[in-house]
Structure 1
Amino acid sequence: MFKNNADQHTGRRTERHTDRYDVAVVGGGAAGLSAALVLGRARLRTLVVDAGEPRNAPSSHMQGYLSRDSMAPAEFLALGREEIARYGVELVRDRAVDVTRGEDFAVELGGGRTVHARRLVVATGLKDELPAVPGVAERFGRDVLHCPFCHGWEVRDEPFGVLGTGPMSVHQALIVSRWSKDVTLFLHTLAEEELSDLDLRRLAAAGVKVVPGEVAGLVVEDDRITGVRLTGGTPSGDGPVHELSVVFVGPRAVPQTGLLEKLGAELEETPLGAYPVVDRTGLTTVPGVWAAGNATGFAEQVVHAASGGYRAATAIVGDLLMADLDAALGAEAQLGAKV
């Protein structure tokens, strides 16, 4: 749409530089596509750079998004890509490997192309680093889960196990007890002395059983989890098996903030990773750079990410408009001074 546009009044066809955009959106998930949709509808020349690695790819469905409950994540993204295309937004399957800031933002792509944009949206999300327990990675998104708000209803009343890997594991065990009254916290790498007296009393009040010892692996039969095996003192190292159907884990969040760091954005350390300091619209400490979705926090669900992309885009529309108006006023003042 943008490479050759017909002038409505003269009928002439004008060329536009294909590597220059008003806004470059890095990340093609819910946050990036939502931002691109608003930007395209505002008639801004927009590029989405999509590496094709959505965080929720292992899940067969997403929940809690009004009107999209139970939709497959892949279908949701496909519909989003169709929608942004209606407004002339360009999407390229590539990875942004570098970015520099001069008069505009120069974004270098893995395929060798460099694109320039006046404003930048970073919606690169995060990666989940899973506990190194045999079977966990293979079952993640199926019956190894991390978010009860995403999957709790679908596995309600099943026997749950929670893999203890840090202080937040106690909180996770307490939260998932909302969906099942048969919950076991396996301490795994969490030392017993790390549990406070209040932790123990809360776990007992919620009916959560606490099992010390390291988890050796998951027991899987007929393509479903049937239990958790602990390490033991036998020659094979096998220990007792605890029967259950679902295992909740707490992945280590690895925010994909490389581009923001290259630009010098200020990051804030949290218990779940370092995230950019942003205002209510997602504007980072680097002028002209917004962040949205899981690039701004671990707990951003799909609905939050889409909202964040929308807010960032509306702020950018106003920001570019004012910049253009001020530039025009400055040009008029200079012309008047010469006359």
Structure 2
Amino acid sequence: MNELWDAVVIGGGAAGLNGAIMLARSRRSVVVVDSGTPRNAPADGVHGLLGLDGIPPAELLGRGRDEVRKYGGRIVHGEVVKAEPTPDGFTVTLADGTSLTAKRVLVATGLRDVLPDVKGLAEHWGRGVVHCPYCHGWEVRDEPIGVLGSAHHALLFRQLSDDIVFFANGTELEDDTRAKFAERGIRIVETPVAEIESTKEQITGVRLTNGEVVPRRVIAVATTMIARTDGIEGLGLPLEDVPNGRKFVTGMAGTTPVKGVWVAGNATDLTAQVGASAAAGALAGAHMNADLLA
């Protein structure tokens, strides 16, 4: 592990692994540092991925790691605690003291979802509490769905179920939005939400601050999505706040203002699904190979 690697990939999700495959297939020496905490771990399956729809997230990542190894890449399970430029490129230090040096770095750390501050949501995250109609919508079709998010969210989920309740929870709705909700049969609840009621297995309803309980089986939320930056602050990558969270600033193919560093996947594209993240990783990997050639 003391060699000078062509590339270190920080993050072993779809973007990181696919970037590593592109580099390894180009006969670049590449090592992936994987903390083993993927964002989609609670989900039963990955959807919208051509040819692999419904595959369990752990199985998909396991296949990806095997493919990286098949082409000569390395996978290291660990947590990055420091990453910084050096005269030779970059040094990446892990929590166990392992130090990796590389000519290039691909950041594919993903993001973390910050749920609305409502008691009972976190316990069912990724199952009874969902956020993406394209990732989970088919699986909750025709269920009584409560929406704690944006008006657009409510309209998207209305395409999947005719029993939608929008909990405004302080959100001001325009007259035009209220008219659209009325046309689509979306009920609006203005009383603030106190907590989510559930059994151990499933959600049963939404308790309001006046004590009323609105029966629901699924809660659709809009999360605040924050790029994971732990341990890589030393790279000096710029971040920007956007309406739905915070992400790394990137250009074409995941390039950054920091020479030798690329970013791919949810760390820079907050709403990208697995397929889009994998594609971004592949593009970044190819761009890195070309840069190494130059």
Superposition TM-score tier, normalisation by shorter sequence: over 0.9
1:198 aligns with 2:176: yes
Tell me by how many angstroms 1:210 deviates. 0.6
Counterpart pick for 2:238 among 257, 263, 266: 266
Among all aligned residue pairs of Structure 1 and Structure 2, give the percentage whose two residues are the same amino acid: 44
1:173 aligns with 2:154: yes
The separation in 2 between residues aligned to 1:182 and 1:244, in whole angstroms, is 9
Q: Per the alignment, in what secondary structure is the counterpart of residue 72 of structure 2?
A: coil
State the one-letter code of the partner of 1:107.
V
Residue in 2 that maps onto 1:65: 49
Output the aligned Cα RMSD.
Answer: 1.5
State the one-letter code of the partner of 1:134.
K
Residue in 2 that maps onto 1:212: 190
Residue in 2 that maps onto 1:23: 7
The separation in 1 between residues aligned to 2:181 and 2:227, in whole angstroms, is 31
Structure 1 residues 74 and 51: alpha-carbon distance in aligned structure 2, compared to 1, 3 A threshold: same
Counterpart pick for 1:307 among 261, 274, 279: 279
CA contact (8 A) 2:120 2:196 kept: yes
Residue in 1 that maps onto 2:248: 276
The separation in 1 between residues aligned to 2:257 and 2:225, in whole angstroms, is 22
Tell me by how many angstroms 1:98 deviates. 1.2
1:319 aligns with 2:291: yes
Residue in 2 that maps onto 1:118: 103
Q: Per the alignment, in what secondary structure is the counterpart of residue 59 of structure 2?
A: helix
Tell me by how many angstroms 1:303 deviates. 0.3
State the one-letter code of the partner of 1:286.
V
TM, length-normalised to structure 2: 0.95
Residue in 1 that maps onto 2:130: 145
> Which protein shows a greater Rg?
1
Counterpart pick for 1:99 among 67, 83, 96: 83
The separation in 2 between residues aligned to 1:73 and 1:94, in whole angstroms, is 19
1:253 aligns with 2:231: no
Residue in 2 that maps onto 1:133: 118
The separation in 2 between residues aligned to 1:110 and 1:183, in whole angstroms, is 46
CA contact (8 A) 1:99 1:105 kept: yes
State the one-letter code of the partner of 1:55.
R
Residue in 2 that maps onto 1:154: 139
CA contact (8 A) 1:21 1:117 kept: yes
The separation in 1 between residues aligned to 2:198 and 2:286, in whole angstroms, is 48
The separation in 2 between residues aligned to 1:109 and 1:90, in whole angstroms, is 15
CA contact (8 A) 1:254 1:273 kept: yes
CA contact (8 A) 1:46 1:89 kept: yes
The separation in 1 between residues aligned to 2:95 and 2:200, in whole angstroms, is 41
Which 10-residue stretch deviates more, 21-30 or 270-279? 270-279
Residue in 1 that maps onto 2:74: 90
Residue in 2 that maps onto 1:182: 163
Residues 15-49 of structure 1 show CA distances to partners (whole Å, capped at 9, x for unaligned) of xx634210000000000000111111111110100
Structure with greater contact order relative to length (CA < 8 Å, sep ≥ 6): 2
Q: Gaps (5+ residues) in structure 2?
A: none
